[in-house]
Structures are given as C-alpha cells and as structure tokens.
C-alpha cells in the first residue's frame, strides 16, 4: 500500500489481522512482537513487528521495523517447465504407490 488512506480502508473492512484477530480500528495500537496478516493482491503477507519508530520516516527505515514471515512461493517465471516434465527426476511418491490407493 502506498497511501495511508488505502491502509485505513483495508483495516475498516476487517481485512487486516493483528495476532490472528481481525481489527476494524485504523488506530489500533501495535506492540513489538505483534504479527500482522495483510492481504496484498492474490497473496497474504505475514509481518512481525520488530521495532516501533519514534516518527514517520523513509521506506528504507520502515523496512527495518518488521520481519517478513510470509512463506516463500516460487513464481511461474522461476519454474523451469523442462524440470517438471523430466522423467529422470525422482518423484516424491511413485504414481503406483500405496499412498494413492483406497484403504
């Protein structure tokens, strides 16, 4: 989000969670250690508050105030199609494995 009003709208809609609890208050207090869950486009970002700033500052300083806990997902651009269809690649479970059979 680039503007504070955009963030306030997400909070007012209840889209932002603080420590797994939805919040509808843009003025909700954050503490060091709180975990924020934020929907961004088609993904969800999970951020832990590492420190609080004494004043508003540049983005370079703001990045030092949180730790990104979001799971790393490989994008389709990073996936090589040749690797997916490579028959010599070792699969996790063989297709005829008992894991695929009904009990």
pLDDT in tens, 38-78: 888 888 999 999 999 988 888 899 899 999 998 776 555 55
- The set of residues, in sequence order, having a beta carbon less than 8 Å from that of 2 and lying 6+ positions away, is none
The structure's pTM equals 0.62
Q: Domain of 38?
A: 4-75
Q: Compute φ and ψ for 46, nearest 5 degrees.
A: -120, 120
Q: Does residue 45 belong to any structural domain of this protein?
A: yes
Domain count within the chain: 1
The per-residue pLDDT for range 67-98, each reduced to its tens digit, is: 999 877 655 555 555 555 555 554 554 445 44
Q: Does residue 88 belong to any structural domain of this protein?
A: no
CA dist list (Å): 22 to 6, 29, 34, 36, 38: 17, 13, 13, 10, 10
Indicate which CATH number applies to the domain containing 12. 3.10.290.10
Dihedral Cα 18, 21, 27, 33, nearest 10 deg: -30
């Amino acid at each position: 989000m680039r503007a504070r009003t955009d963030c306030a709208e997400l909070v007012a809609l209840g889209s932002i969670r603080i420590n797994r609890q939805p919040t509808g208050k843009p003025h909700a207090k954050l503490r060091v250690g709180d975990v924020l869950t934020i929907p961004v486009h088609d993904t969800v970002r999970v951020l832990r508050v590492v420190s609080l700033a004494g004043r508003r500052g540049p983005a370079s300083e703001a990045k030092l105030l949180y730790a990104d806990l979001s799971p790393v997902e490989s994008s389709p651009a990073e996936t090589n199609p040749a690797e997916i269809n490579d028959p010599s690649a070792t699969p996790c479970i063989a297709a005829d494995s008992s894991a695929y059979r009904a009990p």
